Amino acid sequence: MPTQWTNEITSGSPVRASDLNELRDAIDRNRMPYGEAGYSWTDNPLTNATPIKAVHFTEAKTAIQGLWTHKSMGTIGGWTARSGDAPSSGTPVYATDLTDLRGWLNAYELDTTGAVYSARRGLHLRNAGDMRPNDIIAAKMFDPQFVVVLSDDIIADTRPNLVAYLQEISSSVEIFVRMYPTTYPASDYTTTVDTYNDWLTGVYGTGLFSEELNPPALAQRIVDLYDYCTDPSRNIIITAFYPGNEPELVWFNDPNDWQTYLRTDHLWDDLNAYYRDVYYWVQQKKDVGHTRDIKLYPPCFSNSAFVGVASYFPNGDVTFQSLSPSGQKGADRVRNTIEYYQAVDKWSPKTETSRNPCLA
């Protein structure tokens, strides 16, 4: 959302220190996502007693040009007044000098090319608890472009504030849902070669965070949740779903041995096969009546599990966790899922002769 300015500037408007300070604050706020400190402003902060200087305007344009450069937006044009020339010592100050600066900054904020913060900022809502009044205030101030929420929190009767927030946000804000609890395939989904049942019997042996559900049933659950939310009595427009919630961490029977499974190609092949089939079945079910707009994304992985990166270090070094025996990383093994999500025509359901589509 572009910065909303306090005072309208027209011909004859006074030159206010507050207007320039507001512009500077907005520029500095947009510099923060790039790890840049506030600009080194001349006469900062400006006061009502500060003489007007051309540099107050020209350095603001320089700072905005820096933002444009981050997004590869090109070169800012000339000033509206003085035939495009910049303000200089001894020249009058025009209303357009400030409106030009505001317009250039707003153009940056509205441009989605290479956006770091302003165009695609997201918010993950609270897990397993209702939004508190201060949470709602903070969410509205943050003005997210998309929000992420667990499916279980939407349908829980104890989350009225969260549901009300989702109902009130603008239709332009995209809602992403993480399907929770996550699901894993039933024993009849795979052959004995895949041997899911050797290790995939419900997280911690209790099914607390996951449950046994084959792809058609999970696809139906996603479609049902879409219909539940878009019912006129609720009017929560969800279009993006993650079919799993940290599956590479919560599918395990033994929570103390998850790292062993993460280092096997078998786990990632199983994930790949399962979520490819879920995607296929969503395509079969979502278009009944041609009214559902449902997008499916690869599942959310746990940030404590090895998808590829093992460790980050303050100096910028990164170590990678490879899988044996192939030496590939987890994300490499599920690349087919990501690619097939973008090419529906490649899809076919599993068959009796090929129970694992990623190996077919």
CA distance 140 to 136: 6
Please write down the long-range contacts of 82-91, taking CB distance under 8 Å and 24 or more positions apart: 86/54, 86/57, 86/58, 86/61, 87/54, 87/57, 87/58, 88/54, 89/53, 89/54, 91/54
Instruction: State how many domains the chain has.
Output: 2
Residues 205 and 56 in one domain: no
Q: What is the pLDDT of residue 352?
A: 32
Q: Are residues 185 and 283 in the same domain?
A: yes
59 plus 204 within the same structural domain: no
Token duo for residue 66: 């820096």
Task: Give me the amino acid identity at 130.
Answer: D
| Domain closes at, from 110, 126, 142 | 110
Same domain, residue pair 105 and 239: no
Report the candidate in 53, 57, 49 with the shortest Cα–Cα distance to residue 20.
Answer: 57
Whether residue 148 is contained in a domain is answered as: no
Q: Is residue 354 part of a domain?
A: yes
- Asked if 211 and 106 sit in the same domain, the reply is no
Domain contains 38? yes
Q: For strand 309-312 and strand 318-320, is the pairing parallel, antiparallel, or unpaired?
A: antiparallel
SS3 content of the chain, % helix, strand, coil (to 5): 45, 10, 45
216 in a domain, yes or no? yes
What's CA 170's distance to the chain center, in Å?
17
Last residue of a domain, one of 110, 142, 164: 110
Domain hosting 81: range is: 17-110
226 and 331 co-located in one domain: yes
Asked whether residue 324 falls in the same domain as residue 223, the answer is yes
Q: d(Cα 113, Cα 205) in Å, to the nearest integer?
A: 47
- On whether residue 120 sits in a domain, the answer given is no
Chunk the chain into consecutive blocks of 10 residues (it has 360) and report each block's average pLDDT, rounded to whole numbers.
86 89 92 84 92 94 93 91 87 91 92 56 87 88 87 88 92 90 76 48 57 88 93 89 85 65 73 84 76 85 66 69 70 74 54 37
Q: Same domain for 235 and 339? A: yes
Between helix 215-230 and helix 265-286 the angle, nearest 10°, is 50
In a domain, 158, yes or no: no
Instruction: Tell me the pairing of strands 146-150 and 318-320.
Output: unpaired
Asked whether residue 187 falls in the same domain as residue 328, the answer is yes
pTM value?
Answer: 0.61
In a domain, 91, yes or no: yes
* pLDDT attached to residue 125: 93
Identify whether residues 212 and 348 lie together within a single domain.
yes
**Are 218 and 335 within one domain?**
yes
Under DSSP, is residue 281 helix (H, G, I), strand (E, B) or coil? helix
Task: Report yes or no on 255 lying in a domain.
Answer: yes
| Residue 26, pLDDT score | 92
Q: Which of 81, 110, 139 is the last residue of a domain?
A: 110
Q: In this structure, are 212 and 352 located in the same domain?
A: yes
